[in-house]
Amino acid sequence: MGGEIGKLRWRCRRGMRELDVLLTRYVDEEYRTAAPEQQEAFRRLLDIQDPIMHAYFLGRETPPDTELASLIARIAAGVRNAR
Residue 60 exposure: Cα atoms within 13 Å on the Cβ side: 6
Over residues 25-39, the pLDDT tens digits come to: 999 999 999 999 999
Q: Which residues contact 79 (CB under 8 A, 6 or more apart)?
A: 21, 22, 25
In our burial notation (b when 16+ CB lie closer than 10 A, e otherwise), range 41-64 reads bbeebbeeeeeebbebbeeeeebe
Considering the entire predicted model, what is its pTM?
0.88
Could you tell me the residue ranges of all domains in the chain? 2-82
Which top CATH class is 2-82? mainly alpha
**Mean predicted lDDT score pLDDT of the chain:** 92
